[in-house]
Amino acid sequence: MSAGVSTEFISPGPQSFNTTPIIDGVDWFTKPVLVAALSVVVIVWFYWGASRKAAVVPSKLQFAGELGYNFVRNSIARDAIGSHDYMKYVPYLCGLFYFILLNNVAGTIPLIQFPTFSHIGWAYVAAIMSWAIYNGVGIKKKGLWGYFKHQTMPAGVPVWLMPLMIPIEFISNILVRPVSLSLRLFANMFAGHILLLVFVTGGDYMLRESGSIALGGVGIITLLMGLAIAGLELFVQCIQAYIFVVLTAQYIGSAIADEH
Amino acid sequence: MSQHEDPKPTPNTAGDGWRVLSYLIGGILVYGGIGFGLDRWLGTQFLLPVGIVLGAGLTILLLNFRYRQRP
């Protein structure tokens, strides 16, 4: 808000997410691109540093790296895919988890304060990637027809009900899954960030530009509420990264499962 | 690697919840969509809600069959 120029409150909206190119003339290089690139650099630096001098008695950095890796490996990948063939998918799941996590948390980190996945295109790409992988490994394991049968024939349903159930199974497994993966991530990041913007710009307006003592008091409360929302956001950002990867792992697990 | 392996991993129930939700959306989409299409075709108005309720009901039935099988 430009102080003193306008006394009208301009509410934040989807237009608040329009990012301008950082360097003039390079249209694709916007804030989300920068944040995503930075997150990759940070993750690579962290894991490279953690694994560079691997020792039996781990250093602090190696210990942190193992902790982070084991979390995805044991409590996401192994639990969802099963202890037989989960190792193949750990690199993807681990990379995906920390990429989404860092890009989400970027919405709270001071000076960056932009969650990459509040632009839906990023969420689409992440979901399409997971979708391609779990369908791909399912088709590879069972063949096209076998996989298709596996994904559309619900177990335990009597034969006479099958024709009614097959479309539900097909739509929910093939269509709703990738859409819900991307929409959940995008909507949480978008809604959280816009809520924060409303509280902060609204509180700032009431405190500094409304010219009323009473509204100024409300503005202080609003700003404090904004702080609480920021805390809630941090929680949501972590949960959403976790949910995305858990579901990807479960979909992979169900695609390669022997029976339903 | 110096980590202790968790002897018995616990099943992930958070994911199950989301899958149930995606089944419900799927069922409502399919049969609500069929109802919507029939409404447009026949010029009626009641088939979309009938389709939605039917889809939700069938999904609950499907979920019952599916998750009852679990040991």
Domain segments of chain A as ranges? 31-256
CB pairs below 8 Å between A and B: how many?
87
Contact check, Cβ <8 Å, B62/A154: yes
Q: Give the count of domains, chain B.
A: 1
| A250 contacts chain B (CB < 8 A) | yes
Contact check, Cβ <8 Å, A155/B59: no
Is residue B40 in some structural domain? no
Tell me which chain A residue has its CA closest to the CA of residue B32.
Answer: A168
Which residues in chain A are contacts of B53 at CB distance < 8 A? Answer: none
Contact check, Cβ <8 Å, A70/B3: yes
Is residue B6 in some structural domain? no
Q: What is the pLDDT along chain A (260 residues), one digit of tens a residue?
A: 444 445 678 888 888 888 888 888 888 888 899 999 999 999 999 999 888 877 777 888 888 999 999 999 998 999 888 888 899 999 999 999 999 999 999 999 988 889 999 999 999 999 999 999 999 999 999 999 999 888 888 777 888 888 888 998 899 888 898 999 999 999 999 999 999 999 999 998 888 887 788 888 899 999 999 999 999 999 999 999 999 999 999 999 888 887 64
Which residues in chain B are contacts of A161 at CB distance < 8 A? Answer: 61, 65
State the SS3 of chain A.
Answer: CCCCCCCCCCCCCHHHHCCCCCCCCCCCCCHHHHHHHHHHHHHHHHHHHHHHCCCCCCCHHHHHHHHHHHHHHHHHHHHHHCCCCCHHHHHHHHHHHHHHHHHHHCCCCCCCCCCHHHCHHHHHHHHHHHHHHHHHHHHHHHCHHHHHHHHHCCCCCCHHHHHHHHHHHHHHHHHHHHHHHHHHHHHHHHHHHHHHHHHHHHHHHHHHCCCCHHHHHHHHHHHHHHHHHHHHHHHHHHHHHHHHHHHHHHHHHHHHCCCC
- Determine the distance in angstroms separating the CA of A108 from the nearest CA of chain B, rounded to an integer: 25
Task: Supply the pLDDT for residue B12.
Answer: 57
Q: What is the predicted ipTM?
A: 0.75
Contact check, Cβ <8 Å, B2/A56: yes
